[in-house]
């Protein structure tokens, strides 16, 4: 079970605490068991500093605490604090990753014709990077036009196969399946069912998606359609 530790302290030297964290990260490279760490400063009390550390399990956290570098850095941290740090130990029982669900909706909803998700989740200056296109597609309106073009040519769906979230970015691996029902790149409809694997990375900022990067097997798609030799 994922384990989260919250460490709170009061200090007049937050920059020195940051330096200690950098030192710990450098010295424990390849041996620490922490998977995620965040440090925040209280907006209403600049001397109140909170660190949130995630581990795969309580046992992994204990192994991390047993590292000599962790012990030494902690003692230096205590020396910088006005009072002993406090610890809250949490067994994680729920982890809502809203960015992953948003990325899923951005792929799935438009395939059904529901374009409202684009206005809801895309920033006005959203930039879509796809190496198969002549240039970047910028803004929700342009993305809608691009999707409508695909929907005219194909009756398609996305099968989400896996997702990985890292801070402000979500990578989604998918399988696209579409029936060729309309003209595509000058080719008349064939009614063939096409499958194409790919991956999309969305970057979030202030709750909206600012950028998207696409990587997909366009060659396989064109071969299945008969546009290229097998």
What the block records as the tokens of 184 is 């595509």
Q: Which residue has the tokens 């005219």?
A: 152
Residue 39: HSE in the Cβ half-sphere, 13 Å Cα cutoff: 15
Ranges for all domains in the chain classified under CATH 3.10.450.50: 98-225
Supply the pLDDT for residue 197: 95
Percent of the chain with pLDDT over 90: 67
pLDDT in tens, 193-226: 999 999 999 999 888 999 999 999 988 888 998 8
111 in helix, strand or coil? helix
- Are 227 and 187 contacting, i.e. CB atoms less than 8 angstroms apart? yes
Supply the pLDDT for residue 163: 96
Task: State the Cα–Cα distance between residues 171 and 122, nearest whole angstrom.
Answer: 16
- Are 143 and 131 contacting, i.e. CB atoms less than 8 angstroms apart? no
What is the reported pTM?
Answer: 0.70
Low-confidence stretches of the chain (pLDDT < 70) are none
Ranges for all domains in the chain classified under CATH 3.30.70.100: 3-91
CATH of 3-91, one of 3.30.70.100, 3.40.50.300, 1.10.1370.40, 3.40.50.850: 3.30.70.100
138-117-127 Cα angle (round to 5)? 15
- Are 128 and 118 contacting, i.e. CB atoms less than 8 angstroms apart? no
Backbone angles phi, psi at 168, to 5 degrees: -95, 10
CATH architecture of 98-225: Roll (3.10)
Pseudo-torsion of CA 69, 72, 74, 77, nearest 10°? -120
- Are 79 and 9 contacting, i.e. CB atoms less than 8 angstroms apart? no
Helix (H) or strand (E) holding 195: strand 193-205
Task: State the Cα–Cα distance between residues 230 and 226, nearest whole angstrom.
Answer: 8
Supply the pLDDT for residue 175: 96
């Amino acid at each position: 079970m994922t384990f989260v530790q919250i460490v709170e302290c009061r200090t007049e030297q937050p920059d020195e605490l940051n330096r200690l964290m950098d030192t710990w990260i450098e010295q424990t490279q390849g041996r620490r068991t922490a998977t995620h760490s965040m440090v925040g400063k209280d907006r209403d009390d600049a001397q109140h500093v909170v660190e949130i550390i995630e581990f795969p399990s309580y046992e992994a956290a204990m192994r991390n605490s047993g590292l000599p570098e962790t012990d030494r850095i902690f003692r230096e941290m205590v020396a910088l604090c006005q009072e002993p740090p406090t610890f809250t130990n949490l067994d994680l029982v729920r982890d809502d990753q809203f960015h992953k669900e948003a990325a899923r909706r951005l792929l799935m909803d438009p395939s059904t014709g529901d374009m409202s998700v684009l206005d809801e989740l895309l920033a006005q200056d959203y930039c879509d990077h796809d190496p198969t296109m002549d240039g970047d597609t910028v803004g929700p309106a342009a993305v809608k036009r691009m999707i409508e073009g695909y929907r005219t040519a194909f009756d398609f769906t996305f099968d989400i196969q896996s997702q990985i979230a890292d801070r402000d970015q979500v990578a989604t691996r998918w399988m696209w399946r579409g029936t060729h029902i309309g003209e595509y790149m000058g080719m008349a409809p064939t009614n063939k069912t096409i499958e194409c694997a790919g991956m999309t990375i969305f970057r979030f900022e202030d709750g909206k998606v600012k950028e998207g990067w696409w990587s997909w097997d366009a060659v396989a798609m064109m071969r299945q359609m008969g546009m290229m030799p097998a």
